[in-house]
Amino acid sequence: MEGGGRPSAAQAVLLAASSAITALLYSIYRQKARVARGLEGARKVRLDGDLRAVLLEAPGRCVPYAVIEGVVRSVKDTLSSQFVENCKGVVQRLTLQEHKMVWNRTTHLWYNQHHPFDLVPAEDSAGVTVRVMKPLDAAELGLETVYEKFHPSVQSFTDVIGHYISGERPKGIQETEQMLKVGTALTGVGELVLDNATIKLQPPKQGMPYYLSSLDFESLLQKQESSVRFWKILTVVFGFATCAVLFFLLRKQYRHHRERQHLRQMQEEFRELEGAGASPRGQSRV
């Protein structure tokens, strides 16, 4: 606290920073809570022979936010793993991570590719399929890690000297392959629409997340609710910290104000005493 009773620059920065962090965390918490409420309110539909009739009765032949569970089946061709024999899927992601001994930095080089695929009933006896659109746009995509290997870097003496001068020392490259394999059970959450004769699951237009998760719906919902609780706790903790900082500054300012008020009162009493002492001396001279 400065001499004038106002907060110092450091205290003002601390209060502003804690307030900004609290506001940011609260915004994230509200967004997560909105997602969890939307997921909880999503309409659950069964992947069976009645699905087409359900969509025909829906407004615009569309369920804006639906939950449907099925098994992955390729439409035509499948993708083969580059490292694992007889491993076929419809989505493939290859990731290369270069690990360096500088602030744990990593460089990500990756690519995605996918082939068209459907969701079909587990028994595959109903004769109904749901075409999955834009799977790479999903907020959660149920990929399985099928291959993972770390390749340590081999360094010559010249490399070691160069890395010592630059301050960077590569550790190696982590190579990972992930796939959405044929036959995987998926929970899809998105917009379900009947387009001519094709039933499609696609990203929703309401700003809600698009899910193609390997978890069942209840587990997916619990995961989102756990995320909401986590961000709520963080928001409350930083909110209390902000309130504590504000209380400390207000208390300091209040104490400074009381001290100045007490000092002013003492000065007034001293002037009154001086005035009272000067009056009798003037009368005695007369």
pLDDT at 78: 92
Q: What φ, ψ does residue 21 adopt, rounded to 5°? A: -65, -40
Does 133 score more than 90 pLDDT? yes
Contacts of 39 (CB under 8 A, 6+ apart): 189, 208, 209, 211, 220, 221, 224
Give the range with max mean pLDDT: 94-103, 181-190, 247-256.
Answer: 181-190
pLDDT band at residue 120 using 50, 70 and 90 as cut-offs: very high
pLDDT of residue 108: 66
Write the burial class of residue 64 (CB in 10 Å: 0-12 exposed, 13-18 middle, 19+ buried).
middle
Average pLDDT over residues 203-221: 93
At 167, the pLDDT band (50, 70, 90 cuts) reads low
pLDDT at 263: 79
Residue 169 pLDDT exceeds 70? no
Q: Check residues 261 and 101 and name the one with the higher pLDDT.
A: 261
Q: Which of 156, 52, 72, 63 is nearest to 116 (CA)?
A: 72
d(CA 67, CA 34): 17
Q: How confident is the model at residue 33 (pLDDT cuts 50, 70, 90)?
A: very high
Q: What is the pLDDT averaged over residues 15-34? A: 92
Quick one: which of 65, 192, 225, 89 has its CA closest to 144? 89
Q: Which residue has the higher pLDDT, 54 or 245?
A: 54
* pTM of the complete model: 0.75
**Other C-beta atoms within 10 Å of 199: how many?**
22
pLDDT for 105 beyond 70: no
Q: What is the mean pLDDT of residues 230-245?
A: 92
Look at residue 5 and tell me whether its pLDDT is greater than 60.
no
Q: Where are the domains of the chain?
A: 6-41+215-245, 42-214
101 confidence band (pLDDT: 50, 70, 90): low
pLDDT at 34: 93
Share the mean pLDDT of the chain: 84
Q: What is the pLDDT of residue 51?
A: 92
Instruction: Give the mean model confidence (pLDDT) for residues 248-257.
Output: 76
Q: For residue range 170-193, list pLDDT tens digits in order.
A: 667 888 999 999 999 999 999 999
Q: How confident is the model at residue 166 (pLDDT cuts 50, 70, 90)?
A: low
User: What percentage of the chain exceeds 70 in pLDDT?
Assistant: 81
**What pLDDT does residue 268 have?**
76
Mean pLDDT of 215-236: 95
Of the candidates 91, 129, 31, which has an alpha carbon nearest to the alpha carbon of residue 214?
A: 91
Collapsing DSSP states into helix, strand and coil, what is residue 5? coil
